[in-house]
Structure 1
Amino acid sequence: MTTTPSPGRKQAGAKLTTLGAMWPRMVALRSRIDHEVEQALQRQLHLGFSEFVALMSLADRPDGELRMQELADATSLNQSSATRLVGRLERTGLTERRLCEYDRRGVYTGITDAGRVTLRKAVPVYEAALANAFDRVAADPDYRDLIAAVDPR
């Protein structure tokens, strides 16, 4: 594996592998794109990115439901944050909770009809914001190579 100094950092005697140097750029790239997508969803639908991901995850299930831990995993949130997220979605009528019939400790969250309507509106906003963010970031020479590697268009 080749080693290169991390871009924008002074060498302190240690060299990063190419992968090690690339990873912080990938994290920064994702942060930039997530921020732009989040802003578009908030501005147009008053919906956060995590809320969008939660609705997508629920809608992808045949029964429209997930256990709370499964939803936490799908949204990359811890259980406490996922519970707060579901609370926000419930207050707006986009999801509802129910107890598991077989294990009364288990809690399921399901997408409502209103949640499906919101998701249908959100998908084109998400797709357009994502494409715009990719195009904007692709113009930045620091990220052009990363975008070229992941953009299927």
Structure 2
Amino acid sequence: MQINKGRKAYDDINITPMLDLAYVLLVIFILMATASVQGIKVDLPKASAAQSLVQPKTIAITVTNDGQIFMDAFPVTLADLETRLRSAKASNPDVPIVLKGDQTAQYGKVTQVLDLCRQLDLNKVGLVTGKPASAS
């Protein structure tokens, strides 16, 4: 007498739910990674002949209107900025730096950041400006 006639043992694992979960996590990771790249919002001054200096591996330094300094969207002090710029220069001596200063920012803070770059012999420093208002 055979009881299990016609029944087959389950020897395969259904991975479809696991793949669905992996795809959802991948989409969430991509959305969160792209949302954090935008940086700090500042009101840029206008220039008539602005060129884009953003290159891969560019360090973005931002000075807000209240004098706070950010390096790649993270708040830093001048001492922290010096330490981080020294380590960046050690890995790449020609590291390009983009300095964004709010048009109402304290002029002294922007000058201190520029002086620090000069002291560290970082020569590829660019100032970011906005596009000029079109005259109609």
Larger radius of gyration: 2
TM-score (structure 2 length as normaliser)? 0.30
Normalised to the residue count of structure 1, the TM-score between the two structures is: 0.28
Per chain length, whose mean CA-contact separation is higher, i.e. which structure has more relative contact order (CA < 8 Å, sep 6+)? 2
